[in-house]
Amino acid sequence: MSLDADTIAAVATANGAAGIGVLRVSGAKASAIAQTLLGRAPSPRHAHYTAFRDAAGALIDRGLLLHFPQPHSFTGEDVVELQTHGSPVVLGLLLRRVCELGARPARAGEFSERAFLNGKLDLAQAEAIADLIASQSEAAARAALRSLDGAFSQRVAELLAGLVGLRVHVEAAIDFPEEEIDFLAAPELRERLDAVSDRLSRLLAETRRGVRLTDGLHVVIVGRPNAGKSSLLNALAAQDRAIVTPIPGTTRDILRESIQVDGVVLTLADTAGLRDSADPVEREGIRRARDELERADVALLVTDAGSVADDLRLLGPAQSGQTRLIVRNKIDLAGAAPARAETSDGIVIDLSAKTGDGLDLLRGELKRLAGGGDAAAGAFSARARHVVALEKVAAHLAAAELALAEQRAGELAAEELRDAQHQLGELTGEFTSDDLLGAIFSSFCIGK
Ligand code: GDP
Ligand code: ZN
């Protein structure tokens, strides 16, 4: 059943002292290894309490042995799980023993990779395992579980079915050249195309939201020096004491904080003040702030006076796909009340970072943008590569539409639809290069 003859073993629990630890073994020799350790053949899916001994017969620890015969196991191969006290020393001795009996240490992600190769999971589901393990918030964990259950894959499969229907129609037209034009002009084809496009744009929007839930919303705080950017970051971080983890910055002058707002993760980056400057050091800081700005999901502009228009000019044109929030800070100085307004420049929130008045308005906005709260209901986790693949599907579909509408060119449209289908296959791993698989699975932890 396995594509790889090796039997692999790894400690599946986190490295460190713990009540219990789990060592996992998968492959053709797993059953024989279990039998040697237990002194008899194990019963399937039965917890055997036993003494684990080294080659010389010395006791390593006592614990549980479970045998999951193929194909009803996580990897689809024979799997054995050994539970001992959670000591890295004990688990290390047991791993050595298992390797003496014919296993080799597993590479990162190798169990999940085998589960994928044996058809137990598709690629998006395997990625969801890693995302579940790495999840930093309840919303992210729930979303990853939904993807693991196949919520995302199911949506991709529905889209695929629609695409295949389109291809069948277009390719049938090509097979009957005398009637090709009529076939391609049929309203039914138009309807099918629209339905697939609609489905695709909904999926793309939800996938983008899934990425934000999985990775956290990336918010960059920009504005003139002294507008109150750092004060605002501190005020947000202090209010959401749940987790405030400093993230090691890639650049010296950009401070990052990861905070949780009601179960969703936000990464906030405080940047050097934006202004026209001749000082080379300051210009470098501003350049980095602009780089940061290009990658952010949300640009949060902090202004301290009525200079919103001027500051917007400093910010430059809006990035596509980026949301702008404008904070008019220091309302305490003006004796003004907190407020929220929707304007053509973006959502404007009046608040005071100093007194905290109006901060809840901003938090609500950030939470909504992060896809949290009610918006997170039913959400699945996703990765940036999924968005890229779906965007390519959308481009091929648009090209197919154009070929049909403008030139009634069946061959061309069929070609684009084939490419779209291929891209969808990359999501679930149906058509995936070994390089991509290697990159995905090697980012998993050992023992997964
Ligand atoms: P940054 O350069 O944009 O990061 O600005 P800072 O956060 O360092 O704040 C600049 C100055 O404005 C500091 O003296 C802050 O105490 C003050 N400040 C920031 N926010 C407020 C506010 O809401 N009200 C008042 N009165 N002062 C503020
Ligand atoms: Zn600052």
- Ligand 1 touching residue 225 (CB < 6 A): yes
- Ligand 1 touching residue 160 (CB < 6 A): no
User: How do strand 79-86 and strand 59-68 relate by DSSP bridges?
Assistant: antiparallel
Task: Name the binding residues for Mg(2+).
Answer: 230, 251
Range scoring the smallest mean pLDDT among 99-108, 251-260, 298-307, 424-433: 251-260
Domain 132-211+382-429 has CATH 3.40.190.290: no
Other beta carbons within 10 Å of 199 = 16
Residues 6 or more apart whose Cβ sits within 8 Å of residue 261? 240, 363, 366, 367, 370, 372
Q: Which residue has the higher pLDDT, 282 or 430?
A: 430
Of the ranges 226-235, 284-293, 439-448, the best mean pLDDT one: 226-235
Task: Name the binding residues for (6S)-5-formyl-5,6,7,8-tetrahydrofolate.
Answer: 24, 81, 120, 448
- Ligand 1 touching residue 332 (CB < 6 A): yes
Q: How confident is the model at residue 241 (pLDDT cuts 50, 70, 90)?
A: very low
Query: Residue 249: pLDDT above 80?
Result: no
Counting ligands in written order, the one closest to the CA of 223 is 1
Query: Residue 420: pLDDT above 50?
Result: yes
What pLDDT is recorded for position 275?
A: 64
Measure 304 CA to ligand 1 centroid, in angstroms: 8
302 phi, psi to nearest 5 deg: -105, 125
C-beta separation of 9 from 121 below 8 A = no
Residues 6 or more apart whose Cβ sits within 8 Å of residue 198? none
Measure 76 CA to ligand 1 centroid, in angstroms: 59
Per-domain residue ranges for the chain?
8-121, 132-211+382-429, 217-369
337 phi, psi to nearest 5 deg: -95, 155
Homologous superfamily of 217-369: P-loop containing nucleotide triphosphate hydrolases (3.40.50.300)
Range scoring the smallest mean pLDDT among 138-147, 250-259, 286-295: 250-259
Residues 6 or more apart whose Cβ sits within 8 Å of residue 234? 353
What angle do helix axes 359-369 and 229-239 make, rounded to 10 degrees? Answer: 80
What pLDDT is recorded for position 375?
A: 55
Other beta carbons within 10 Å of 225 = 12
Counting ligands in written order, the one closest to the CA of 232 is 1
Measure 193 CA to ligand 2 centroid, in angstroms: 51
Query: Residue 243: pLDDT above 50?
Result: no
Measure 419 CA to ligand 1 centroid, in angstroms: 53
Query: Residue 203: pLDDT above 90?
Result: yes
- Ligand 1 touching residue 334 (CB < 6 A): no
267 phi, psi to nearest 5 deg: -105, 120
Of 224, 226, 303, which is best to mutate to test ligand 1, by the most ligand atoms within 8 angstroms of its C-beta?
A: 226
Counting ligands in written order, the one closest to the CA of 330 is 1
Q: What is the pLDDT of residues 386-410, one digit of tens each?
A: 999 999 999 999 999 998 887 778 8
Atom from ligand 1 closest to the CA of residue 223: 3
Tell if the pTM clears 0.80, that is, is over it: no
Please, is 115 exposed, middle or buried when counting C-beta atoms within 10 Å of its C-beta (0-12, 13-18, 19+)? buried
Query: Residue 144: pLDDT above 50?
Result: yes
Measure 364 CA to ligand 1 centroid, in angstroms: 22
Query: Which amino acid is located at 223 in the chain?
Result: G
C-beta separation of 261 from 213 below 8 A = no
Q: What is the pLDDT of residues 334-354, one digit of tens each?
A: 899 999 999 888 899 999 999
Q: What is the pLDDT of residues 298-315, one digit of tens each?
A: 889 999 766 777 888 877
Across the chain, mean pLDDT equals 85
- Ligand 1 touching residue 354 (CB < 6 A): yes
Return the bridge partners of 217, or none.
266
CATH class for the region spanning 8-121? alpha beta
Of 224, 229, 230, 231, which is best to mutate to test ligand 1, by the most ligand atoms within 8 angstroms of its C-beta?
A: 231
Task: Name the binding residues.
Answer: 24, 81, 120, 226-231, 245-251, 270-273, 448
Measure 222 CA to ligand 2 centroid, in angstroms: 9
Task: Name the binding residues for GTP.
Answer: 226-231, 245-251, 270-273
- Ligand 1 touching residue 329 (CB < 6 A): yes
Query: Does the model's ipTM exceed the 0.95 cut?
Result: yes
Tokens of 244: 């405030």
